[in-house]
Structure 1
Amino acid sequence: MSTNDARRIRRAHPDEAGELERLQSRSSTHWGYPPGYFDWAGDARSIPDTYVRNNPVFVLEEDGKRLGFYAFTDEDADLLLDKLFVDADEIGKGNGKLLWQHAIQTARELGRSELIVASDPNAAPFYAAMGAVPYATKPTAEPSWTLHMFRYALSR
């Protein structure tokens, strides 16, 4: 899918996994998380090439620069929007909304009627603004940080 300007969204390649992991880390700095803050999350923050190979992962880029990405995984028969990250310098420019819209279309193409979002607490207002409905929070190994869970019904 192309966007309406020089930005485009394409399927990620497994050899980009390391760069996507670094982009994810840079994105987290936007919320003021210090370096190493997510060490408690263990492998949950890693993006190995097998993750990219085995899941729908899409990259938003402009002139060869990766601006953001998203990824779906299956969790208990649900389609989970496992990751949606925009590079810290690119937040607030409409890139998250472009990725969200593409993710919705991809979920439809996958034949799904709903998707689940596991959100950083700081990104929860974004998902609410996109029309996702909050339904739970999930504790993590870090008592001060919880996942905010959303559902989004896909219209046909």
Structure 2
Amino acid sequence: MQIRAARPHEAGELSELALRSKGHWGYDRDFLARCSAELTLAPGDIERRRTSVAEHGGRILGFVTVQGDPPHGELGMLFVDPPAIGTGVGRRLFQHAVAVAEALGFTRLEIGSEPHAEPFYRAMGATRTGTIPSGTFPGRNLPLMSIATTPLHPRPTARRHTDS
């Protein structure tokens, strides 16, 4: 399996994968239809959201996005195709996202988690820091997770110059 940058023409395929992955948790068609806009990537989103895919034998197994600007960012989307769930693809994508964040100078990533995915994020070292409202379903709250990262290129801090 390799992880590589997603390509703009893959936006539709990634959006379909996100819906299949969300459907893995037993949500009905109405629920998934209402989530569709939130889970849709446009070609212009691919680079802007720093989208990476896990691929094996020419087949995309999952994808992840790292969004925002340092020092704090967001792991915006992490979806694995249902046949690949439990095979380590999610773990590799998560580790890749953290490495990307560190290379860009992020000190923390926040994750608005699917409730069923919270145990996965905990296993990856994230902690629950609160809840956030669903962007699709009024009254539904989602776990807010966070993971500290170690930036490879920390931002310079202002130094005080004092007279001796």
Partner of 1:122: 116
State the alpha-carbon separation in 1 of the partners of residues 111 and 143 from structure 2: 8
Indicate which of 142, 146, 149 corresponds to 2:141: 146
State the alpha-carbon separation in 1 of the partners of residues 71 and 46 from structure 2: 19
The change in CA–CA distance for 1:55 and 1:139 in structure 2 (over 3 A counts) is closer
Q: Percent identity?
A: 36
Indicate which of 96, 103, 121 corresponds to 1:109: 103
SS in 2 for 1:17: helix
State the alpha-carbon separation in 1 of the partners of residues 30 and 110 from structure 2: 27
SS in 2 for 1:45: coil
Indicate which of 1, 15, 19 corresponds to 2:9: 15
Instruction: Tell me which amino acid in the other structure corresponds to 2:109.
Output: L
Instruction: Tell me which amino acid in the other structure corresponds to 1:122.
Output: H
SS in 2 for 1:19: helix
Q: Structure 1 residue 40: deviation in Å?
A: 3.4
Instruction: Tell me which amino acid in the other structure corresponds to 1:60.
Output: A
State the alpha-carbon separation in 2 of the partners of residues 59 and 145 from structure 1: 29
Q: Which runs of 5+ in 1 are unaligned?
A: 1-6
Pairing 1:65–2:59 present:
yes
Q: TM-score, normalised by structure 1?
A: 0.88
Q: Structure 1 residue 117: deviation in Å?
A: 0.9
Instruction: Tell me which amino acid in the other structure corresponds to 1:12.
Output: A
The change in CA–CA distance for 1:75 and 1:119 in structure 2 (over 3 A counts) is farther
83-92 or 29-38, which moves further after superposition?
29-38
Aligned residues: 150
Instruction: Tell me which amino acid in the other structure corresponds to 1:147.
Output: L
Q: TM-score, normalised by structure 2?
A: 0.84
Partner of 1:4: none
Pairing 1:95–2:95 present:
no
RMSD: 1.9
Q: Which runs of 5+ in 2 are unaligned?
A: 152-164
State the alpha-carbon separation in 2 of the partners of residues 137 and 40 from structure 1: 20
